[in-house]
Amino acid sequence: MALRVALGLPKWTPNIVLMKIAGQEVLSEKIKRLAAQFFIRQLANGTQSPIYDQNCRPSIKLIKKDEVLMANLSADLVTSTDHIISFPDTLFSRNNVCEIHLSDFSFQNKAHPVFLIKDLFEEAVSKEFYDYHIIATDASKSRSFTSIAGISNLQSFVYRIHPINSIFTAEALAICQALDELSVTDKNLLLLTDSYSVLQALKCLTIKSPKVIHRLAGKIFVRKNFNQKICLVWTPGHSLIQWNEKADLLAKTVTESHPFIEWIASEDIISHFQTISLQKTNHSFQNSKYQESIGDIPTMLTLTPWLKNRREDIIIARLLTRMIITPALLHRFGLHNNPRCQICNRDNNIEHIILFCSKYSNHRSILCAKLNFDLQLGPSLKAFFQNAVSDKRHLRILLQSLKSFDIY
């Protein structure tokens, strides 16, 4: 009901069509997803969550239904919920993390030509970091693998990680792993990464930051007991900086035979579930009788940036769902006595008005010329709307011409 009002669609709009154009999930799926999300968040909150007691044991007992839900969840993810990245036992504030350089050096400017970035980088390292142990990390995501890699002049590593993890999580995990595996004691550490967003998140650490960033802060804190100084420096990607190139190549060499690290970010699991749930809406639409008649309609969310006001939102939502008020539609619901067009004596529906009615033939040729839509080859309304909502310019043209078709 709320969706109908929000979209301005009449009450006889079929549910499946409504969910599809609203980009909404089927309610039963959504309830399940929200319950799962609640538990995943609690798991990720670790000892900070009220569902655990002081000894990190669960302080509540799940009811049977929720236990099944959690078991299914683990099975879906092919991992144990123990591997969800959680808060470290001690939380750190952003003040005691470490030095983070995002824009302090002249090479940290993507506007520079690549060769200049490379030279400026080498100069900065030889001036400021000549006595540092340098470590570079990178992450990679392909169809087959999500991987992390790290390299120093002594050692390197490559691991596969859970494919649900985003590139953001992967980049952060790569730095965590590098701190564990590639650090040397009693030497200052310079960590290079091309992930601006991870360093930015670390710099602005709050209780709401992703758990993997808290984990990274925790690792740095522990490392600081061994090393004098830890510096994290952003290096622009694809700029021929040797260290980056090496880490990048390494991450891409990953194969099935590389070891697998099971850590998985709760934030990524949650967005994965949202995607799956929306896919289910799309599937049920595609399998319904409506897909055949009205075609694959986009969600309003993707169109609203091109629309100016609520009136336009409503008109487009109604056109796409074929719920725009026409004599034929009104007649179907007993609200109009003549479903036929008085000029052509055909069903006076939206298809007739836009594609066939002789009353509008002049307006139609102008509109179709502007939209570059071919009327000669037995046009379908499905194809017409697909063309009209394909980009902003087309959509604006359609909206401007609706008045000439007596559509308001």
| Least distance between Zn ion and beta carbon 348 (Å) | 6
Hey, what long-range contacts does 201-208 have (CB within 8 A, 24 or more apart)? 201/168, 201/172, 202/94, 202/97, 202/100, 202/232, 203/94, 203/97, 203/100, 203/102, 204/94, 205/92, 205/93, 205/94, 205/97, 206/94, 207/91
3-class secondary-structure state, position 325? coil
Q: How far is the CB of 380 from Zn ion (least distance, A)?
A: 17
Choose the stretch contacting Zn ion; rule: CB under 5 A; options: 22-30, 80-88, 186-194, 337-345.
337-345
Using CB under 5 A, which of the segments 187-195, 315-323, 341-349, 377-385 binds Zn ion? Answer: 341-349
User: Least separation, in Å, of the C-beta of 326 and Zn ion?
Assistant: 11
For residues 267 and 351, which CB has a smaller minimum distance to Zn ion in the complex? 351
Judged by beta carbon, residue 83 or residue 359, the one nearer Zn ion is: 359
Please tell me whether residue 341 binds Zn ion under the rule CB under 5 A. yes
d(CA 320, CA 17): 10
Beta strands in 50-168 (DSSP E): 99-101, 132-141, 146-151, 156-161
Minimal distance, residue 394 CB to Zn ion, in Å: 24
Task: Quote the least distance from Cβ 368 to Zn ion, whole Å.
Answer: 17
Q: Does the footprint of Zn ion cover residue 335 (CB under 5 A)?
A: no
Residue closest to 21 by CA, chosen among 311, 265, 319: 319
343: contact with Zn ion by CB under 5 A: yes
Q: How far is the CB of 353 from Zn ion (least distance, A)?
A: 7
**Closer residue to Zn ion, CB minimum distance, 40 or 381:** 381
Q: Cβ(161)–Cβ(153) under 8 Å?
A: no
Query: 25 or 351, CB closer to Zn ion?
Result: 351
d(CA 269, CA 263): 11
In whole angstroms, the minimum distance from the beta carbon of 294 to Zn ion comes to 21
Residue 124 tokens read as 């900065």
Tell me, residue by residue from 68 to 87, as one string, x for binding to Zn ion by CB under 5 A and - for no binding.
Answer: --------------------
What are the residue ranges of helices labelled H in 46-140?
64-77, 114-128
Question: Is residue 344 within the footprint of Zn ion (CB under 5 A)?
Answer: yes
First to last CA, the chain: 23
User: Min. distance of Cβ 340 from Zn ion in angstroms?
Assistant: 9
Region of 2-10, 195-203, 237-245, 352-360 interacting with Zn ion (CB under 5 A): 352-360
Candidates 93-101, 172-180, 288-296, 351-359 — which segment interacts with Zn ion by CB under 5 A? 351-359
For the chain, give the longest Cα–Cα distance: 91
The least distance separating Zn ion from the CB of residue 324, rounded to whole angstroms, comes to 16
Tell me how many residues contact Zn ion (CB under 5 A).
4
Rounded distance between C-alpha atoms, residue 266 and residue 81, angstroms: 10
Question: Which single residue is written with the structure tokens 């590098």?
Answer: 178
Distance between CA atoms of residues 3 and 12, nearest Å: 13
Q: Which is nearer to Zn ion, 119 or 347 (CB)?
A: 347
Select from 176, 357, 389, 402 the one that contacts Zn ion (CB under 5 A): 357
Would you give the binding string for Zn ion spanning residues 245-274, x where CB under 5 A is met? ------------------------------
List interacting residues with Zn ion (CB under 5 A).
Answer: 341, 343-344, 357
